[in-house]
Amino acid sequence: MAGFIGKEITDFTVQAYHKGTFETVTKESVLGHWSVFFFYPADFTFVCPTELGDLADFYEEFREIGCEIYSVSEDTHFVHKAWADASETIGKIEYPMLADPAGRLASFFDVLAEEEGQAVRGTFIVNPEGKIRAYEIHDMGIGRNAQELLRKVQAAQYVEEHGDQVCPAKWKPGEETLTPSLDLVGIL
Amino acid sequence: MIDCNQFEGTSPLLDEKLQGELKGIFGKMETAVTLKAVVDMEEEKSKEMALFLKTAASLSDLLTLELYTPLEAEALEFDTEYLPATGLYKDGIYSGVSFHGVPGGREINSFVLAIYNLSGPGQEIGRGLVKKIQKIKKPANIKVCVSLACHHCPAVVAASQRIAILNPLVKAQMLDANLYPALVERYGITRVPFVILNDETTFTGPRTIEELTGMLG
């Protein structure tokens, strides 16, 4: 497989801030259900709360399809708590916010900008067996879209269940008819 | 009926090379097939369909085209809710096969196979399977929603239409779902092939002719 696709996630143990409490999250915690690892550069920045808040707005829908969200930055879990206490947007987040100050997760997923000590905006969709099924990596200033991420998780789940014998359809009313592509060799 | 001669030239969808290939396939036809199409002359897609069919029909003496307006559609036996629509007839009898939208892209394959299978000799098929298909006792309608780029779709269309050709109780329609947003919205179609059985049961993904026959039996 190319890049990260099909790669099993590394063993890890990190602290997390989760709905007002601290907890430990390990590789075992994320097995058995679909997961999204959502890296962002740092707490207390401006673009980050926008996309983390966007993700919080769709969190219930992710949970309905059996997918957990793990946001990850290189801050500590104490800083996550301080940010949640200070920001209304972050305070409403119900998914675990992982703390990766040692950079172990960011290094594994190859999203660590070492000079800054921050993660670039990487998103990784991981199946219940801990294997990466889809990912995207953006530069610092390029935000992401939670609704599109939800669609990707659903698509990954669909392919896992049904295989790749279907074609995703992007409806474009008014589109020109495709040039015919005759391919009946061996059929007639 | 609409005068087919008002459509001049040939369809840009069927270039000379493709016309040559189609001529070769249509050269194997054994009996005459009539393409009856309902086209709305106010709609560009209908005009495109008319010229496509006219060009295709010109490639064999055994292919005839008849064009009808939506007002004349009631007299036809096939579903004309989704226009433009083309029904295939042999000996004046509706075959149960119809196409909704222009069969461009990958669907040229199902279109050619439908003509070939209706006219004869048709694709090889086991006698046991033919008997199973002919034993289907309940009327059935199979709508196969496709996108023209889908490489899994033509096989499902061809399989369902083969069943329709062999059993007059079965109707099988190809629908280019891109042209029918209300249908896409009603069934929440995001992937193709998407099959609607008797306007009730739906499923996504390929099925063989044996599997489809099993569902209808």
Query: Is the CB of B29 inside 8 Å of chain A's CB atoms?
Result: no
Cross-chain CB nearest to B148 (options A158, A162, A177)? A177
Cross-chain CB nearest to A178 (options B113, B148, B189)? B148
Tell me: pLDDT of B156 over 70. Answer: yes
> Is residue B47 packed enough to be buried (19+ CB in 10 Å), middle (13-18) or exposed (0-12)?
middle
**Domain for residue A186, yes or no?**
no
Band the pLDDT of B31: cuts 50, 70, 90.
very high
User: Which residue is catalytic, options A25, A48, A112, A119?
Assistant: A48
- The CA distance from B44 to A74, in Å, is 57
**Domain for residue A60, yes or no?**
yes
Asked if A177's CB is within 8 angstroms of B191's CB, the reply is no
CATH code, B134: 3.40.30.80
Kindly state the DSSP code that residue B177 receives in the 8-state scheme.
G
- The CA distance from B121 to B29, in Å, is 7
Query: DSSP per residue over B99-135, as a string?
Result: EES---GGGHHHHHHHHHHHHSS-S---HHHHHHHHT
**Domain for residue A22, yes or no?**
yes
**Domain for residue A177, yes or no?**
no
Residue A178 is predicted with a pLDDT of 87
pLDDT per residue, tens digit, chain A (188 aa), is 578 999 999 999 999 999 999 999 999 999 999 999 999 999 998 767 889 999 999 999 999 999 999 999 999 999 999 999 999 999 999 999 999 999 999 999 999 998 888 999 999 999 999 999 999 998 877 889 999 999 999 889 888 887 777 777 877 777 888 899 898 877 87
Q: Residue A129 CB: number of other CB atoms within 10 A? A: 11
**How far lies A21's CA from each of A15, A82, A90, B16, in Å?**
10, 12, 14, 71
Residue B193 is predicted with a pLDDT of 94
- The CA distance from A175 to B49, in Å, is 14
Q: Domain tally for chain A? A: 1
Cross-chain CB nearest to B116 (options A168, A169, A188)? A188
Query: Is the CB of A161 inside 8 Å of chain B's CB atoms?
Result: no
Task: Using CA coordinates, name the residue in chain A closest to B146.
Answer: A169
Cross-chain CB nearest to B178 (options A172, A180, A187)? A172
Q: What is the pLDDT of residues B82-130, one digit of tens each?
A: 999 999 999 999 999 999 999 999 999 999 999 999 998 899 999 999 9
Q: What is the 3-state secondary structure (H, E, C) of A15-62?
A: EEEECCEEEEEEHHHHCCCEEEEEECCCCCCCHHHHHHHHHHHCHHHH
Q: Domain tally for chain B? A: 1
Residue A158 is predicted with a pLDDT of 82
Dihedral of CA atoms A134, A140, A142, A148 in degrees, nearest 10, equals 30
Tell me: pLDDT of B40 over 90. Answer: yes
> How distant is the Cα of A179 from the closest Cα of chain B, in angstroms?
5
CB B144 within 8 A of CB B215: no
CATH code, A107: 3.40.30.10
For testing contact with chain B, the best of A159, A160, A178, A183 (most B CBs within 10 A): A178
Band the pLDDT of B34: cuts 50, 70, 90.
very high
Residue B90 is predicted with a pLDDT of 97
Query: Is the CB of A185 inside 8 Å of chain B's CB atoms?
Result: no
CA B17, B20, B21, B26 torsion-angle sign: positive
Query: Is the CB of B149 inside 8 Å of chain A's CB atoms?
Result: yes
Asked if B112's CB is within 8 angstroms of A182's CB, the reply is yes
Cross-chain CB nearest to A175 (options B48, B152, B178)? B178
CA B149, B155, B158, B161 torsion-angle sign: negative
Q: What is the pLDDT of residues A64-91, one digit of tens each?
A: 999 999 999 999 999 999 999 999 999 9
Query: Is the CB of A180 inside 8 Å of chain B's CB atoms?
Result: yes
Residue A188 is predicted with a pLDDT of 79
**Domain for residue B118, yes or no?**
yes
- Confirm whether A67 is a catalytic residue: no
Domain region containing B41: 15-216
Mean pLDDT to the nearest integer, B175-179: 95
- The CA distance from B143 to A131, in Å, is 37
**Domain for residue A46, yes or no?**
yes
**Domain for residue B26, yes or no?**
yes
Query: Which DSSP helix (H) or strand (E) runs through B186?
Result: helix B181-187
**Domain for residue A144, yes or no?**
yes
Query: Is the CB of B62 inside 8 Å of chain A's CB atoms?
Result: no
> How distant is the Cα of B16 from the closest Cα of chain A, in angstroms?
12
**How far lies A37's CA from each of A118, A139, B25, in Å?**
15, 16, 53
Domain region containing A145: 13-162
Query: Is the CB of A179 inside 8 Å of chain B's CB atoms?
Result: yes
For testing contact with chain A, the best of B111, B191, B209 (most A CBs within 10 A): B191
